[in-house]
Structure 1
Amino acid sequence: MDKVRVRFAPSPTGPLHIGGVRTALYNYLFAKKHDGDFILRIEDTDQTRYVEGAEDYIIETLNWCGIPYDEGPGKDGGFGPYRQSDRKSIYEKYVDELIQNNKAYYAFDSTEELENQRKIAEKEGSKFSYGPKNRHELKNSLNMSSDELKAKLDAEEDYVIRFKTSASETLFMQDEIRGHIEVDSEVLDDKILFKSDGMPTYHLANIVDDHLMEISHVIRGEEWLPSLPLHVSLYKAFGWEVPKFAHLPLILKPSGKGKLSKRDGDQLGFPVFPLEWKDPANGNVSAGYREEGYLPKAVINMLALLGWNDGTDQEFFNMSEMIEKFEVKRIHKSGAKFDPEKTKWFQQHYLQQAPVEKLVKEFKNILAEKSIEVSLQYIEEVVKTIRERATFVSDFWELSWFYFEAPKEFDAKSSKKVWKKDSSSWMRALIGKLQSVDDFSQTNLQDEVKTWIKTQDLGFGKIMQPLRLALVGAMRGPDVFHIATSIGKDKTIARLEFAIDNLD
């Protein structure tokens, strides 16, 4: 396998967890680093768990995150189909090959019979496992004559086909992240590869598809590490070249204890899915990073560092930098603790880097919902002024509403602190001063007012604090002269008069 070819192979059983997005990202980065191909394969062999809309959700997620696949549904690269349900006719040939070579066998044990074996094992203080130690005592083709087997197959009795695990072998395996791994085959069980309904299990379909699609590296989640001995054994049973494997660490709860789940997000108030998901079964809606206002660059940067770094203190990476610096050997072995606040930190950074035109357009939509119509130039000036205090575009209104509406009430605590007995008389005097100012630009207005304050022999707080309260309704906001200049002389004076009438 000279060319790097990797695949992301999710099951369409619901929304894609951010752990899955990270797996897709690492595959994408590795492929692009080595001028290879990134393939999307939909592993839908278990039709009982198929969820309508899940496949579209997966594709939309990859596109939103900026990690589109090179081959997959709708993008044939000559190795399709890319849905396992469309490849059903392929697998039977390969399972037959295993049976012919004594690497697999038919098993006719019923669910009830296997459950009974489990109960017997429990009574004896052990755990039932269908494998090298007991398969010759069970109901399978290893213990039948060819005539007996033919009779059962002709009668269309239910069966499964199991892999025949080597009875006594030490498997030597290599993981690109975890290093050398050894497993005694006697502790393994004979996994089911094929069912009588004509559908393969994940294990067979996964190996056959990876081989036929010429996958060079399998980069997948840590939860598949226990399946590595079986998968390597299957490659060897077929006589195929084994791809290189890398098993990624878990994304942990914010507490660091256990795998991050939807419940953690629900309880702590952050999404665990890239996009919003509406469950077709019950209509329940799960939050998504996109709908919560996160930028894809922020989400991707955050995920990239959940289990990997480039060996430096750098934390902000654009896609080109990630591709250039990404190395599998720098992926961590231990789990990575998810930090919602760090995710917001990335979001705030990328919001500051976003093109102002994009932010203006999004804020304009928010204003339109409030029936506020102002020029794009005005919105742009406001956005430039308040964006550094924002984490999301949705924060803009709370940070700047006073640029668009006059306060109708005043913060009680601030009013008590800054509006003194003589504040009204000084604000009336300030109104007189403002009426005399012809050039109401920010710089000139500031010079005029500050000079006037000095001539009155006053402390700046005596005037500036009540002025801010009148314009904003509270002791917050950007430069008070910027606010006054933006809303204009008439509205500035009107707000001062409203404050005088209501705060005395």
Structure 2
Amino acid sequence: MERKVRVRFAPSPTGPLHMGGVRTALYNYLFAKKNGGDFILRIEDTDSHRFVPGAEDYIMESLAWCGIAIDEGVREGGPHAPYRQSERREIYLQYALQLIDSGHAYYAFDTPEELAAIRSAAEAEGKTFAYDFRVREKLATSLALSPEEVRRRIDAGEQWVVRFRMPENEEVHMHDLIRGDVTVNTSTLDDKVLYKSADALPTYHLANIVDDHLMEISHVIRGEEWLPSLPLHYLLYRALGWSDTQPQFAHLPLLLKPTGGGKLSKRDGDKMGFPVFPLRWVSPEGETARGYREDGYFPEAFVNMLALLGWNPGTEQEIFSMDELIEAFSLERVSKSGARFNPEKTRWFNAQYLHAKTDEEVAGLLLPLLRKKGVEADLAKTTRIVALLKERATFVSDLWDLSSFLFIAPQEYDAKGTAKFWKGENPARIAALREVLAGIGDFTKENAERIVHDWIVAREYPMGQVMNSFRLTLVGASSGPSIFDICEIIGKEETLRRIDTALEKLGR
């Protein structure tokens, strides 16, 4: 019987979720849905010293905003609850002790101070200290101490850790679904800590292996920073007798800075003016970080952009709905090398999604922004304005900058445009044009444009001078959409009022 696909996204609540973490969640989700499987959210909060209040809720809100639906998790529940590791703490010790009993792990009683002294002594001799097969039987471990001494220390309340007993000089053969076959010799690896008595909690290595096994995870899709841990994880599955049900592994490439040199960080975003988190984050200390949502990005655009950072569909298609991503996604087309983030391309994606929305949809998104600006406008007028300007915008907020003069008459006039066009006979020509406009009964765009055009031609006025002076009175600047589109939207009375104001403020 074929094993059901079950994947997990297992972040630690140590701060805001980086966009690289969102991409990991997205790839897990796409893979699960493509293969009729389940997507599980597990919160790995065993490191109590790094826990940040609010981070767990932030993770869940971020996934919800992106449209990544969770099948099993802290809020959703499920057959393998609880899904928060701190609530599973009593599970892990039995497996740590099982590893000791089977000879695959041992107790170590070294204090942090003792280990620091050993490292310093090694460095003084120009060596690098590694806790491995070379030293484990010379230190305060259950491999060097008698069983009675080990029991005495434990009963006396001495702190201890459980370390994995890494085999000596063994080739570990592994397979990664993205990177292919990998072989590592165990003599290059140290004896990692699996469990700490100090806080009665496992480290990541033991907890994630145990939980992945108990939650029947079929595929572990995670960042490449975990690739060096893969030999240990393979050996842990073997030591616990779970090799037959061990998940398949896939390690995703890094997200790189726009310059390509190194991993994308918050500092890069701060320096270059883009967010690296899906939502705005406010730390318990009050520090803030920008978010894509608050910067005006559509979640679909953010997800579309992320999906193509490290994966390609093998076609020229760039715009994908979530359903299309699910249909097209495969781990075979995930890159081995790092993916360079391009902030401009991200803006391009948002523009594509904005332009694809109906004018009425975008108008509905613009109305709340207008109200914040103190402008009450109806949907019909706003929709007409959106239709006129949507293709010039990247964000909904851009539409205010592009169209504010259509809602509020200009209070001042561009100095450069005024110097260029409000001179000579132009003010007098605009005063005469006002009377022409006042006499038009059918003030539609087409009719007004025809009458004004014929009037200018008949008098042999320079078309550009008159029209740019006219635009200045309506917009306050020498750029913008078609003048007669503006006239039709603001109406005849407002058009005449704006000309009167300009004549008064700029002079005839």
Query: Is 1:285 the equivalent of 2:288?
Result: yes
2:328 corresponds to which residue? 325
Q: How does 1:17-166 map to 2 (within 5 A)?
A: 17-166=18-167
Deviation at 1:173, TM superposition (A): 0.6
1:262 corresponds to which residue? 266
Query: Is 1:252 the equivalent of 2:253?
Result: no
Query: Structure 2 residue aligned with 1:227, among 223, 226, 229?
Result: 229
Q: Is the 8 A contact 1:217 1:244 kept in 2?
A: yes
Deviation at 1:276, TM superposition (A): 0.5
Q: Is the 8 A contact 2:360 2:379 kept in 1?
A: no
Deviations 1:71-94 (A, max 9, x none): 101212201110000111111111
1:198 corresponds to which residue? 200
1:294 corresponds to which residue? 297
The amino acid of 1:236's aligned partner reads R
Query: Is 1:388 the equivalent of 2:397?
Result: no
Query: Structure 2 residue aligned with 1:473, among 464, 471, 476?
Result: 476
2:505 corresponds to which residue? 502
State the alpha-carbon separation in 1 of the partners of residues 412 and 50 from structure 2. Answer: 55
State the alpha-carbon separation in 2 of the partners of residues 109 and 424 from structure 1. Answer: 90
The amino acid of 1:20's aligned partner reads G
Let me know the Cα RMSD of the aligned residues. Answer: 1.2
The amino acid of 2:325's aligned partner reads M
2:496 corresponds to which residue? 493
State the alpha-carbon separation in 2 of the partners of residues 357 and 97 from structure 1. Answer: 64
1:334 corresponds to which residue? 337
1:408 corresponds to which residue? 411
State the alpha-carbon separation in 1 of the partners of residues 375 and 367 from structure 2. Answer: 9
Query: Is 1:168 the equivalent of 2:172?
Result: no
My pick for the range that moved more, 285-294 or 376-385, is 376-385
The amino acid of 1:454's aligned partner reads V
My pick for the range that moved more, 452-461 or 233-242, is 452-461
State the alpha-carbon separation in 2 of the partners of residues 290 and 107 from structure 1. Answer: 48
2:374 corresponds to which residue? 371
1:183 corresponds to which residue? 184
2:220 corresponds to which residue? 218
Deviation at 1:148, TM superposition (A): 1.3
Deviation at 1:463, TM superposition (A): 2.1
Deviations 1:134-158 (A, max 9, x none): 1111110001221111111111211
State the alpha-carbon separation in 1 of the partners of residues 298 and 72 from structure 2. Answer: 25
State the alpha-carbon separation in 1 of the partners of residues 378 and 319 from structure 2. Answer: 34
Deviations 1:218-265 (A, max 9, x none): 000011111111111101111213211111111111111111111111
1:273 corresponds to which residue? 277
Deviation at 1:388, TM superposition (A): 1.1
Identical-residue share of aligned pairs (%): 55
- Aligned-partner SS, 1:39: strand
State the alpha-carbon separation in 2 of the partners of residues 210 and 369 from structure 1. Answer: 48
Deviation at 1:381, TM superposition (A): 1.1
State the alpha-carbon separation in 2 of the partners of residues 84 and 390 from structure 1. Answer: 45
Query: Is 1:447 the equivalent of 2:416?
Result: no
State the alpha-carbon separation in 1 of the partners of residues 325 and 54 from structure 2. Answer: 31
Deviation at 1:498, TM superposition (A): 2.1
State the alpha-carbon separation in 1 of the partners of residues 270 and 358 from structure 2. Answer: 32
Deviation at 1:355, TM superposition (A): 4.0
**Structure 2: gaps of 5 or more residues:** none
The amino acid of 1:59's aligned partner reads M
Query: Structure 1 residue aligned with 2:247, among 243, 248, 253?
Result: 243
Deviation at 1:458, TM superposition (A): 3.1
Q: Is the 8 A contact 1:133 1:186 kept in 2?
A: no
State the alpha-carbon separation in 2 of the partners of residues 438 and 263 from structure 1. Answer: 60
The amino acid of 1:278's aligned partner reads V
- Aligned-partner SS, 2:143: helix
Q: Is the 8 A contact 2:10 2:44 kept in 1?
A: yes
The amino acid of 2:127's aligned partner reads S
State the alpha-carbon separation in 2 of the partners of residues 412 and 271 from structure 1. Answer: 35
Q: Is the 8 A contact 2:177 2:248 kept in 1?
A: yes
- Aligned-partner SS, 2:137: helix
1:433 corresponds to which residue? 436
TM-score norm. by structure 1 comes to 0.98
Deviation at 1:392, TM superposition (A): 1.1
TM-score norm. by structure 2 comes to 0.97
State the alpha-carbon separation in 1 of the partners of residues 162 and 411 from structure 2. Answer: 75
Deviation at 1:403, TM superposition (A): 0.6
Q: Is the 8 A contact 1:276 1:289 kept in 2?
A: yes
- Aligned-partner SS, 1:193: strand
- Aligned-partner SS, 1:171: strand
| Total equivalences in the alignment | 503
State the alpha-carbon separation in 1 of the partners of residues 236 and 358 from structure 2. Answer: 51
